[in-house]
Amino acid sequence: MIKKSLLLLTRIVMIFGIITTINAQDDSPYAMWETISITPDYTQLKVLGENMKKHNKKYHQDGPYKASVYNIVTGPNIGKMVWQMGPLNYSHLDSRPSKGGHDEDWRDNILPYVKKMTNGEYWKQDNDLSNVGMLDPETVTHPILYIRYFEAQRDHGYSIDHLLKQMSDAVKAMDGENPWGVYDNQFRQGYTIGRHLAWVSFNKNWAEFDKPPTFKKAFIKVHGEDSWTAFQDGMADSFSNSWDEVWEYNAELSGK
């Protein structure tokens, strides 16, 4: 009886330890960004640019509320702008700029020159999978973002973590510096909107796109000769759609 009790107690301690470890992982620091897609009134671009510059310099210059503005330069959303705030945590949103004229300035000096705002989203970075340690958080050294969005396939979510881990290991094994991030869309998008997951390649200039790709070579080196076909099949099974966008950093309109 005593042995059984001790065994039960040991299992309880082990389970509690596992739960504590999981909670500690969940509470670990993370980086997240708020993004809004903006369709400008193209007849008022000059006014919108001047007003957004003033707004961001006044209310979103640094810290978790720092605003960055990007121009979408490829794909069906070309001509739109992305207003991005962060990196931040959810707790920062309770103290986000709103008073002191912020909301009135956005209402009176930004919205009248905007046709539409869409895709208000929060993207959390997966710190374990991402390879962003070489990026300088204080300056924009890689102003061109190559983004690939993924729409998860129904009933195949169980395989996505494994595929992303394979990709991450391959990127980290590539020669040179290859800043690359994995981001989860924090709120459900459904299967008609998609945009469930994205990875981002950070580039210093357009000339980097002329370099021959080395990801496949690194992937096979890390995972073996027979791994590539299985990886491609796994991606096809796990995602129903994917598409690319390239963003260019707009330093003039950004907060810093």
pLDDT digit string (tens) for 119-143?
999 999 999 999 999 999 889 999 9
- State the Cα–Cα distance between residues 72 and 40, nearest whole angstrom: 12
User: Does the pLDDT value for residue 6 go beyond 80?
Assistant: no
Q: What is the mean pLDDT of residues 161-165?
A: 96
- Say what the pLDDT of residue 194 is: 84
Q: What is the mean pLDDT of residues 57-84?
A: 97
User: Does the pLDDT value for residue 16 go beyond 60?
Assistant: no
User: Does the pLDDT value for residue 11 go beyond 50?
Assistant: no
- Say what the pLDDT of residue 163 is: 97
Q: What is the mean pLDDT of residues 136-152?
A: 94
- Say what the pLDDT of residue 28 is: 57
The token duo for 255 is 């907060």
Percent of the residues in the chain that have a pLDDT greater than 90, as a whole number: 81
**Of 35, 189, 43, which is closest to residue 115 (Cα–Cα)?**
43
Q: What is the mean pLDDT of residues 211-238?
A: 96
User: Does the pLDDT value for residue 84 go beyond 90?
Assistant: yes
Q: Which domains does the chain have, with CATH numbers?
A: 30-122 (3.30.70.100), 126-249 (3.30.70.100)
Phi-psi region of 13 (alpha: psi -120 to 50; beta: other; left: phi over 0): alpha
Query: b/e map of 238-252 (b: 16 or more CB within 10 Å)?
Result: bbeeeeebbbebbee
Q: Which amino acid is at 146?
A: Y
Number of residues assigned to the chain: 256
What are the tens digits of pLDDT across the range 42-51?
999 999 999 9
Q: What is the mean pLDDT of residues 19-37?
A: 66
Please report the DSSP string for 189-224 in residue order: -HHHH---EEEEEEESSGGGGGSPP-HHHHHHHHH-
User: Does the pLDDT value for residue 27 go beyond 90?
Assistant: no
- CB 146, CB 244: distance < 8 Å: yes
Consecutive H or E run containing 49: helix 45-59
